[in-house]
Amino acid sequence: MRQLSSLPGWAVLVGALTLGSGLARAAEHITLANGFDLTCDHRETVGDRVRLYLSASNTDFVEVNPTDISASEHVDLPVVNETAGAAPAAPLKTIDLKEMLSAAGEAHDLDSDLLAAVVRQESGGNVHAVSRTGARGLMQLMPGTAAQMGVNDAFAPRENVNGGTAYLDAMLRRYHDNLALALAAYNAGPAAVDRWHGIPPYRETRAYVARVIHEFNRRVDARRRQLASAKTAAAVAVVERP
């Protein structure tokens, strides 16, 4: 298991763009001068401001100055395929989630307890979680990130976990296995981390990094205690054997 370094302890603006399997539709991935990222369904100039619409409707938008937009690129987002009368998906079993995290961790040489800590902070294990910023699924993938990671359905548990793990791995490699910086980039985007040359001074991001690392450490400590207890029990059993 690769060793990760840390530092002491995305606020991303994205609307409700639903992911699912199907044909792709055009959108824009926009980077703002403050380091934030968002996925824009369409835009409109109103006076000296630009409205970035976060969904197909004209009611959900962010208004910025034209100079606030530092970069824009085309992205293709999957279109939802809704099946009338479809039964709701069965809840994900803990044992199934553990298997997914273990497999994804093994594929990327990451501790499954780290992935479990991210999942707990991101979604609390809710497969259908959608944040106020539009992130989706177990590891709360933004539409643009999901597209980059080849995730067609962010609500499909295994796809989400594989995509989220791949993205976290990419952030760890980008920041030379510095866990705190990688988590900050996972939450706030790498542009923000690069702009601030470290963890951005966003309260949400700093709290996120601290909570994930705390949960990861808690899980590792619990695993060590469990292993030590098992060894002690085994040793006692040998001594008491007639």
For residue 107, give the CATH number of its domain. Answer: 1.10.530.10
Residue 148's nearest CA partner among 127, 162, 134 is 162
Distances (CA, A) of 35 to 53, 150, 155, 162, 218: 18, 24, 27, 26, 31
Is 122 tagged catalytic? yes
Per-residue pLDDT of the chain in tens (242 residues, 90 and over written 9): 777 776 443 333 322 222 233 344 457 777 777 666 667 778 889 899 888 876 666 766 777 888 988 888 776 554 444 333 434 445 678 889 999 999 999 999 999 999 999 999 999 999 999 887 889 999 999 999 999 999 999 999 999 999 999 999 999 999 999 999 999 999 999 999 999 999 988 888 888 999 999 999 999 999 999 888 887 777 666 666 66
- Same domain (yes/no): 108, 214: yes
Residue 208's nearest CA partner among 104, 131, 107, 111 is 131
pTM: 0.64
Question: Which CATH number does the domain housing residue 47 bear?
Answer: 2.30.30.100
Up-side HSE of residue 181: CA atoms within 13 Å toward CB? 19
- Catalytic residue selected from 28, 73, 99, 122: 122
- Same domain (yes/no): 132, 178: yes
